[in-house]
Amino acid sequence: MIEKKTTINCRGKIIDFSKAVVMGILNITPDSFYDGNAYNNKEKVHKRIQQIVNEGALIVDIGAYSSRPGAAHISEYEELNRLSPALEVVAKFFPNLVVSVDTFRSGVARHVVNNYGVSIINDISAGGLDNKMFETVSKLNIPYIMMHMRGTPNNMQDFTSYNDLIPEIIDYFAEKIYRLKNIGQKDIIIDPGFGFSKKLDQNYELLKRLKEFNIFELPILAGISRKSMIYKRLNISPEEALNGTSVLNTIALLNGANILRVHDVKEAVQAVKLVETTFQ
């Protein structure tokens, strides 16, 4: 029987994934697919973080670079310029909150950890867009979330051809985990990348076979919230995709997800509680 690693050390705070946890999304971007430009000043950021905390999320994930297809490319300077006000709010009003920053740039990672005490780096490219990222997170000694993606956010949907989807994603993670462990990275979380370099039906195959990633004995993050795999399948808008998100989050939990990355924290926390009540 595979025994997963169930804890990570976030700058001296232990997070236990033996029960699934919820990560609330805070997008500091003008062009995200669902909530772009919704949190463009400190007051709105404070209100959103307070909501995330009040509704029961254990982690807040802050991102300033939109990864939706076709989103505008921004410089590292602009990314940090967007992140800094939000991280100042966290430092002032939520000093004990576990904060993840969603970035693929090692320079951004280093800056936010050293200057704002960020606890986790969440990299959509798993080091593929910055060859210094692995070394950086290892030296920073913080947990690292790495996602499966081919190409870049702008062209990732040109790379959806697989001979065998799940084994190829497993091979992708196996190589990167080997490299990270060789340089001393202690805490790794894997994200199979729903919606990234995958066609609609491939996302459902991935969800159906999520348990196969337990082979790595590492925590698994599922980021399904309001994505096109829901609203395109149901012929609805992202704004109408909350019910579908809750359904798929529940399936992800049943198939081994340890972290749900979501826009709607309250509903995700409820899903976690109901699954736990039923099966534990």
Per-residue pLDDT of the chain (280 residues; tens, 9 = 90+): 567 778 999 989 999 999 999 999 999 887 554 454 555 688 889 999 999 999 999 999 999 988 776 667 889 999 999 999 999 999 999 999 999 999 999 999 999 999 999 999 999 999 999 999 999 999 999 999 999 999 888 888 888 999 999 999 999 999 999 999 999 999 999 999 999 999 999 999 999 999 999 999 999 999 999 999 999 999 999 999 999 999 999 999 999 999 999 999 999 999 999 999 998 7
Whether the Cβ atoms of residue 6 and residue 16 lie closer than 8 Å to each other: yes
Give the three-state DSSP class for 148: coil
Query: Considering 132, 227, 233, 273, which one is annotated as catalytic?
Result: 227
pLDDT (0 to 100) of residue 37: 54
Helix or strand or coil: residue 263? coil
* Residue 273 known to be catalytic: no
C-alpha span between 206 and 196 (Å, rounded): 11
Q: What is the pLDDT of residue 5?
A: 79
Per-state percent for the chain, helix, strand, coil, to nearest 5: 45, 15, 40
Query: Which position among 47, 261, 266, 273 bears the catalytic label?
Result: 261
Q: What is the pLDDT of residue 6?
A: 85
The angle that helices 200-208 and 165-182 make with each other, rounded to 10 degrees, is 70
DSSP assignments along 68-99, one per residue:
STTPPP--HHHHHHHHHHHHHHHHHH-TT-EE
Burial call 203-231: b when 16+ CB within 10 Å, e when fewer: bbebbeebebbeebebbbbbbbbbbbbbb
Confidence (pLDDT) at 148: 97
261 is catalytic: yes
Whole-angstrom Cα distance, residue 29 to residue 8? 28
Give the pLDDT score at 33: 47
With a CB cutoff of 8 Å and minimum separation 6, the contacts of 11 are: 117, 119, 142
Q: 7-279 falls under which CATH superfamily?
A: Dihydropteroate synthase-like (3.20.20.20)
Domain ranges of the chain: 7-279
φ, ψ of residue 128 to 5 degrees: the values are -75, -20
